[in-house]
Structure 1
Amino acid sequence: MHSSNLIFDRNSVGTRALHCVSGLALSAAIAMVSITLGDLPWLQSHGLSALIVAILLGILLGNTIYPRIAVYCGPGVSFSKQTLLRAGIVLYGFRLTFHDVAHVGTAGVVIDALVLTSTFALALLLGQKVLGLDRHTSVLIGAGSAICGAAAVMATEPVVKARAEQVTVAVSTVVVFGTLAIVVYPLLYQWNLNWHLLPADMSGFGIYIGSTVHEVAQVLAAARSISPQAADSAVIAKLVRVMMLAPFLLALSVWMRRNAAHDGDDGKASRVTIPWFAFAFLLIVGLNTVMPLSADFHRDATAIDTWLLTMSMAALGLTTHLSAIRRAGLKPLILAALLFGWLVAGGALINCAVTTLAA
């Protein structure tokens, strides 16, 4: 009896390991295709990174083929969506240094902080109080709009413990309005040559783009169509905004706990969920700042990071059901549209006010 139980346990462990490997292989295969497609000039010019391609391919497979094989791949797909995501966020720190802060100056940091806090606060107000959305969806859309698009949505998910379809709805809004920003901001720059309502110099307009556009890839696409100088300042402002992800996640965890306690949910309010991976991300940024790391190391670390994040986005798509997105309705899109309007108009006001006061 003991021997048969031992054999059963071994077989069970082996089966779980096989399912984990098969799920990782599936996520990696989608990531490989997505990274290849993400290198196409047309997709790059439209700000559609490998991350976005991966979630779209994942959704396609997740609503056609994957349900038939989910029982064989589920553990590996879950591992990709959760553990590989955290590892990818940590390695993202090798793209940044604290010297980036100096390039945009105090004014740039203040602008980023004001845009982040005002956009997220507006998401909570409009999402829950006006549109009647659930808290998780409002938080995810707010994080994606306020910080760094899909990566911020994915990094926020472990803190709020949202469902896959809520995460996908939030990521979808980043795709829609981040892509729209690629067209809108160059037009704003041309109009501003006559209006003079926004920062007129290339560097100032680049900071405006970097502080208000969703994704890093979308920031690059919008700013490059203006000038290389605008692109440089836009990317630096955007990366400073990305560095605010870690303190944002900790503050969000504390806020979620207090709200759970206020709502009388003692189970959820028992402890603060500390996003350790976010602090590891800051540690890597610090390491990248103080230690001379070779160009080859940075290239390899960035490549690994891209793989990990793309695999996690593919896994998210695989576990997303379109029927759940349809049930979410138009309200998430309306919220994202209102936040996009605030990023364009309110972000312009913040940039002008801070720049004027700092002068």
Structure 2
Amino acid sequence: MTALVTKWKQCWPGLGVASITGMAALFLSEHYGAPAMLFALLLGMAVSFLYQQDSPCSCGIDFAATTLLRTGVVLLGLRIALGDLVVLGWETALVLALAIFTTILLGVFLARALGFQKRFGALTGGSVSICGASAALAISTILPAGKNHERDTLLTVIGVTAMSTIAMILYPIIAQQLGLTETQSGIFIGGTIHDVAQVVGAGYSISDEAGDLATLTKLVRVAMLMPVVLIMMVVIKHHFKRKNIEADGQVPKLPLFLVGFVVLMLVNSFFTLPEALTSGASDISRFFLVVSITAIGMKSNLGKLAEVGVLPIVLIVTETVWIALLILGYLWWR
């Protein structure tokens, strides 16, 4: 108990700063219509001087960037039910799985071609194909730690958030120009835009029917976060074993937050939960993720970000275009 109190005393200054900054990001997002994740990153980077060696805020910022992050991902499970797959249909669900798989593979190959590590391609590909910044944060926790680990996570969150905002504006226009029906528009929006909030905004800007189907399609993509993370863990372990590399603790174990995500998803699938509970959990999850991104922004080094140049943008844009063309091809064939 004494250790817990001591830990809390060490963490509360940084946790408080990260929480207040996160609330500021949410306030700005609601009043100016821009993504809260983007505001959180920018505000976090603006006060990155708080994260310094021997700073009283360091412990709390680390806590927000790790424990709060995992808790936020766990609570995402209450937004998803297995019945969503049944409603959407096996054919569409299969195409979404194919889109996720091929986008991640494309990211890995492009990352190598552009001079990045393969783990960066897996991170960007998973983020683009599943659920944007939330997926980036979840996947980064199971990737082997490296000297550019936090930089890569930050670059990915910035990139997918920016692309998601652009897509929210452009994709409804594209759907209209291509003459897509409301059903097709819903699948296109939900199957391609990165973040949930932007999917909702784009879908309901077309119609209520398109918005409902876009949200459902997006939640099916979010549900695939768990199998993707598990597959990545298996691949990483196989890589270390095949190369006979000393892991030094880099091989990820099954994270408890992933177990919690699955448990809550199953609970939501087999039990009828009160709307107030699921809505409250969704709001708490969003807040925790915003605060954790704020903390990651505080831990960032702007000099290192500037050194990378435009290549990460090229990578994320290519992945975004790929998944959009794939879903449009399916709708045309269908």
Q: Is the 8 A contact 1:115 1:347 kept in 2?
A: yes
In structure 1, the partner of 2:168 is 182
In structure 1, the partner of 2:137 is 154
Of 272-281 and 183-192, more deviation after overlay is shown by 272-281
What is the alpha-carbon distance in structure 2 between the residues aligned to residue 337 and residue 258 of structure 1?
30
What is the alpha-carbon distance in structure 2 between the residues aligned to residue 77 and residue 306 of structure 1?
17
1:17 Cα deviation from its structure 2 partner: 4.0
Q: Is the 8 A contact 1:30 1:58 kept in 2?
A: yes
What is the alpha-carbon distance in structure 2 between the residues aligned to residue 116 and residue 350 of structure 1?
14
Of 277-286 and 299-308, more deviation after overlay is shown by 299-308
What is the alpha-carbon distance in structure 2 between the residues aligned to residue 72 and residue 320 of structure 1?
17
CA deviation vs aligned residue, 1:87-111 (integer Å, no higher than 9, x gap): 1111111122222222211122112
Which of residues 211, 234, 251 in structure 1 aligns to 2:191? Answer: 211
Alignment of 1:1-359 (within 5 A): 17-40=8-31, 42-43=32-33, 48-62=34-48, 65-67=49-51, 71-128=55-112, 130-162=113-145, 163-193=149-179, 200-267=180-247, 272-353=252-333, 356=334
Q: Give 1:36's aligned amino acid.
A: F
Q: Structure 1 residues 182, 249: CA separation in 2 closer, same or farther (over 3 Å shift)?
A: same
Q: Structure 1 residues 14, 230: CA separation in 2 closer, same or farther (over 3 Å shift)?
A: closer
What is the alpha-carbon distance in structure 1 between the residues aligned to residue 278 and residue 122 of structure 2?
32
1:189 Cα deviation from its structure 2 partner: 1.4
Structure 1: which 5+ runs fail to align? Answer: 1-9, 194-199
1:213 Cα deviation from its structure 2 partner: 1.1
1:67 Cα deviation from its structure 2 partner: 4.3
Aligned-pair RMSD on alpha carbons? Answer: 2.1
1:268 Cα deviation from its structure 2 partner: 5.1
What is the alpha-carbon distance in structure 2 between the residues aligned to residue 298 and residue 13 of structure 1?
29
Q: Give 2:67's aligned amino acid.
A: T
What is the alpha-carbon distance in structure 1 between the residues aligned to residue 252 and residue 161 of structure 2?
31
1:350 Cα deviation from its structure 2 partner: 3.4
Of 25-34 and 236-245, more deviation after overlay is shown by 25-34
Q: 1:265 is paired with a residue of what secondary structure? A: coil
Under a length normalisation based on structure 2, what TM-score does the superposition of the two structures give?
A: 0.92
What is the alpha-carbon distance in structure 2 between the residues aligned to residue 284 and residue 226 of structure 1?
32
What is the alpha-carbon distance in structure 1 between the residues aligned to residue 328 and residue 164 of structure 2?
16
CA deviation vs aligned residue, 1:239-282 (integer Å, no higher than 9, x gap): 00000001110100111122223333222588552133123212
Of 338-347 and 148-157, more deviation after overlay is shown by 338-347
Q: Give 1:307's aligned amino acid.
A: F
1:37 Cα deviation from its structure 2 partner: 2.1
Q: 2:55 is paired with a residue of what secondary structure? A: helix
Q: Is the 8 A contact 1:261 1:269 kept in 2?
A: no
Q: Is the 8 A contact 2:107 2:124 kept in 1?
A: yes
Q: Is the 8 A contact 2:100 2:130 kept in 1?
A: yes
Q: 2:253 is paired with a residue of what secondary structure? A: coil
What is the alpha-carbon distance in structure 2 between the residues aligned to residue 231 and residue 70 of structure 1?
48
Q: Is the 8 A contact 1:260 1:269 kept in 2?
A: no
Q: Structure 1 residues 222, 70: CA separation in 2 closer, same or farther (over 3 Å shift)?
A: farther
Q: Is the 8 A contact 1:260 1:268 kept in 2?
A: no
1:122 Cα deviation from its structure 2 partner: 0.5
Q: Structure 1 residues 352, 279: CA separation in 2 closer, same or farther (over 3 Å shift)?
A: farther
Say how many residue pairs are matched.
330
1:15 Cα deviation from its structure 2 partner: 6.7
Counting aligned pairs with the same residue, the percent is 28
Q: 2:194 is paired with a residue of what secondary structure? A: coil
Structure 2: which 5+ runs fail to align? Answer: none
Of 79-88 and 29-38, more deviation after overlay is shown by 29-38
What is the alpha-carbon distance in structure 2 between the residues aligned to residue 315 and residue 327 of structure 1?
21
1:303 Cα deviation from its structure 2 partner: 2.4
What is the alpha-carbon distance in structure 1 between the residues aligned to residue 51 and residue 138 of structure 2?
26
Larger Rg belongs to:
1
**Moved >3 Å (runs of 4+):** 12-17, 67-70, 268-272, 350-353
Q: Structure 1 residues 80, 68: CA separation in 2 closer, same or farther (over 3 Å shift)?
A: closer
